[in-house]
Amino acid sequence: MLQALGYAGFGSDRLDDWRQFGTSLLGLQAVERGPRLLAFRMDDRKQRIVIDRSMADGTRFFGWEVADRSALDALAAKLEAAHIEVTAEPRTLADARGVRALIAFRDPAGNRLEAFYGAEIDETPFSPGRSISGFRTGPLGLGHAVLTVDNIDSMTAFYVDVLGFALSDYMEKPFRAYFFHVNPRHHSLALIETGKNGMHHLMVELFALDDVGQSYDVALGQKDCVSVTLGRHTNDFMTSFYCKTPSAFMVECGWGGREIDPATWQPVEMHDGPSLWGHERVWLSEKDRDVARAMRLRLAREGKRAPVQVMEGNYRLMSGTCAWWDGVRKEPVPKKNL
């Protein structure tokens, strides 16, 4: 029923800091929405990320897209049948969100969720805040959101059984993390069990690896901005780093995210940890950082590799022979990885 993560909003009175962060580091286009609102564009839509001065710092909302009015009504009925309070928001809020209509409700952790249809397209082309090739959005949505939660199990029941998310994969070490999809993006939502509810990070995916590297250079030039060093994930194959926003949660700047086939995908438990290499997480305890580091070093000893995910026109074939890749191509592809 849900198609993609359409937009996200965060409460903060640090609009100037957010404007600088969003444009100069991430490459978003800033759009003024009066004295209390700062919006960011990533593509042809009027807005994807909103910073609201009137909301308390630490508050947030997430807009999940559905196909049309009938899908929105069906979702509202399903939520009410599950005894979840639903609010049909007024036209004024829909206009502020840049959509035709929306409903609002909360997940078990209290996060405000909005479901909408009819996102507005801007009349002017996207103009990035700095020179980047663009963001990978479209039917995949703006990226993914990762929440910290007190308990994963109750949240999983809500997102899977009520909202229709599907589990992509999960891990128990070095921390519990579950990943969910609603479209071919490997995950649009993830939950990390930390003992408290909060915002962990928002991921934006860029078209070019060099965009990520140049953003990394910008972040390295700012004190305490990098929260997770450059690295590559084991499950969605994303090459990325994480930077601290003016609101303390992180944004993951990534490239090369994996697509899956939701119709055939089978979830598995991951035993290799979250990253193939890199991604030193400064927010972990020293003990957990040692566990994660030991996992990465084991993968290095074993020669763990994963194919790079590229779009048509975003690569050039080189001459030469790659024994590893030739061996991979000869192996039968497991059904779960199709």
Whether the CB-CB separation of 26 and 215 falls below 8 Å is answered with yes
Residue 338 has pLDDT above 70, yes or no: no
pLDDT at 333 over 60: no
Tell me if 3 sits within 8 A of 182, measured CB to CB: yes
User: pLDDT at position 324, please?
Assistant: 79
Give per-residue pLDDT as tens, 244-289.
999 989 999 999 999 999 999 999 999 998 999 999 998 888 888 8
Both tokens assigned to 150 = 């007190």
pLDDT tens for residues 153-178? 999 999 999 999 999 999 987 789 99
Which segment of 23-37, 69-83, 324-338 scores lowest on mean pLDDT? Answer: 324-338
Q: What is the spatial distance between Cα 15 and Cα 40, in angstroms, rounded to a whole number?
A: 12
pLDDT tens for 30-65 read 998 888 999 999 999 999 999 999 999 999 999 999
In this predicted model, what pLDDT tens digit does every residue of 182-233 receive, in sequence order? 999 999 999 999 999 999 999 999 999 999 999 999 999 999 999 999 999 9
Region at 157 (left for phi over 0; alpha for psi -120 to 50; beta for the rest): alpha
Query: String of b and e for 3-41 (b: at least 16 CB within 10 Å)?
Result: bbbbbbbbbbbbbeebbebbbebbbbbbbebeeebbbbb
Per-residue model confidence (pLDDT) at position 262: 97
Task: Return the bridge partners of 192, or none.
Answer: 148, 177
335 CB-side CA count, 13 A: 3
- In sign, the C-alpha dihedral spanning 119, 236, 266, 82 is negative
Q: How confident is the model at residue 318 (pLDDT cuts 50, 70, 90)?
A: confident
Give this prediction's pTM: 0.94
